[in-house]
Amino acid sequence: MIPQRIRVKLYAEDTSQTDVEPFVALFHGFIREARLPGLWIDVVDYGHVRRGPGALLVGHEADLSWDLLDGRPGLSYTRKRGEAPSLEQALRETLEHALEAAAAVEARSGLRLQRQGLSVTLIDRLRAPREPGRIEQLRLALGAAAEPLLGSRHASVDEVSPDDVATDRGDARAAVTLRL
């Protein structure tokens, strides 16, 4: 089964880039100029939420955000819907769109985004549960999907929370995140 939501995050090279306001304006510009393919609806400023979605460009097929959800600034592309014949294809399409959005953001903002250490989160507890067999399948599919776009990559699994939330028990319910 293909997860309904897949998020690819590219991290900022400059980790001090935590102010989301410039991205609110940038994303409004993206809507106005139809800068990215797909239907883009509105921009939300979540700058007041610590470790939040930051500047969020809401779309129909996907969302784009300059966020701090895992504590590090970066650009997330979240696929929300779409038909794909296979998991590998869905992952590849998401990576492609994320890289395209990254290039657009870089071109307008002058910021640099890393192409290493991307995180890929499968936000779907029905189709991508935190189960060893399923995660291995996802890992292999992601490695294959990434190769034509990023070169040969090993996908590794974040076993627990994407970050150390100050709880003792670990974040067992967090969606599965893999690193590329």
Partner 1 sequence: MTIQTWKQALTGRIASDLADEIDAFEGQIELKKQGRVGDKLFAETRLRRGAYGQRYDNGLRHDGTGQKTLTFPSGEITKGPGTFWDAPGMMRVKIPFGAVSPEQLEVLADLAEEYSDDILHVTTRQDIQLHFVHIEDTPDLMRRLGAVGITTREACGNAVRNVSACPYAGTCHTESFDVTPHAQALADFLLGHPDTQDFGRKFKAAFSGCADEPCGLTRFHDLGLVARERTQDGVAVRGFLVLVGGGLGAVPVQAKVLTEFCPEQELLPTAQALCRVFAQHGERESRARARLKFLVQKLGIEALRELVAQERSQLLEDPRWTAHLDAAPADPDPRSAPSPLAEPGSRAERSWQGTNVRTQAQDGYHVVSVSLPLGDFTAEQARGVADLGRRFSHEALRFTVEQNVVLRWVAGADVPALYAALDALGLGEDGADGLLDPTSCPGTDTCKLGIASSRGLAKELRRSLRVVADDLDPAVKRLRVKMSGCFNSCSQHHVADLGFLGVSRSVGGRRVPHFNLVLGGRYRDNGGAYGVVVGAVPARNAPEAVRLITNKYAAERQEDESLEAFVERLGKAAIRTLLAPISKPPPYEVDPSYYRDFGDPREYTLGDMGIGECAGELVPAVEFALSAAEQKLWGAQDELESGAAAGAAGNAYQAMLVAAAGLVRHLGGQVRDEPDEVVAAFRQHVYAPGHFHDPFAKDKFGRYLFSLHDSKAHEGASVETAHRILDEARLFLEAAYACTERLLEAGSQASASAETAIPSSGERA
Per the DSSP assignment, residues forming a β-bridge with 125 are: none
Packing angle between helix 21-33 and helix 87-109, nearest 10 degrees? Answer: 110
* Binding region for partner 1 (CB under 8 A) out of 35-43, 83-91, 132-140, 149-157: 35-43
Q: Please select the residue that binds partner 1; options are 2, 56, 145, 146, rule is CB under 8 A.
A: 56
Q: Are 121 and 98 in contact (CB under 8 A)?
A: no
**In the 8-state DSSP scheme, what is residue 117?**
S
* 171 near partner 1, judged by CB under 8 A: yes
Q: Please select the residue that binds partner 1; options are 6, 8, 12, 69, rule is CB under 8 A.
A: 69
Q: What value does the CA radius of gyration of the chain take, rounded to a whole number of Å? A: 16
State in Å, rounded, how far the first CA of the chain is from the last one: 21
* Binding region for partner 1 (CB under 8 A) out of 94-102, 140-148, 151-159, 160-168: 160-168
Q: Please select the residue that binds partner 1; options are 108, 125, 139, 179, rule is CB under 8 A.
A: 125
Q: Please select the residue that binds partner 1; options are 2, 5, 23, 120, rule is CB under 8 A.
A: 5
